[in-house]
Amino acid sequence: MSNLFLKRIYEPCDEMDGIRILVDRLWPRGISKDAAKLSFWFKEVAPSNELRKSFCHVPELFEEFRVKYLEELDSDEVKRDLIRQILELAEEDRVTLLYGAKEPVYNHAQVLMEELRRCESGAES
């Protein structure tokens, strides 16, 4: 059973969150660093600025965004290293990935979770 979970950073912090990792490139509006109660901020695992801006949270563009972000996650060594770190942390404790997007389905954290699950199942290249 996986120790990886997703949560919007605007939801209240809970001790059950375990290790809290913000996976957004930009700091979420209206959240203080103290209130965020982060263990880590892995902003480099987020989509590139160019990709983030081209998607602009438009659901109709999500599939194209998803494919391009998965390519970034696969080809960018910094992103690969952060994925490995997340998976290592999840071997020891519950890990909650935090994101700021209002849309719970069409966002980069869902794609990142898809990639983490793929790697967890042993399909990592």
Asked whether the predicted pLDDT for residue 99 surpasses 60, the reply is yes
Strands 19-22 and 4-8: unpaired
pLDDT of residue 2: 85
End-to-end CA distance of the chain: 21
Cβ atoms 39, 20 nearer than 8 A: yes
pTM: 0.93
Asked whether the predicted pLDDT for residue 1 surpasses 70, the reply is no
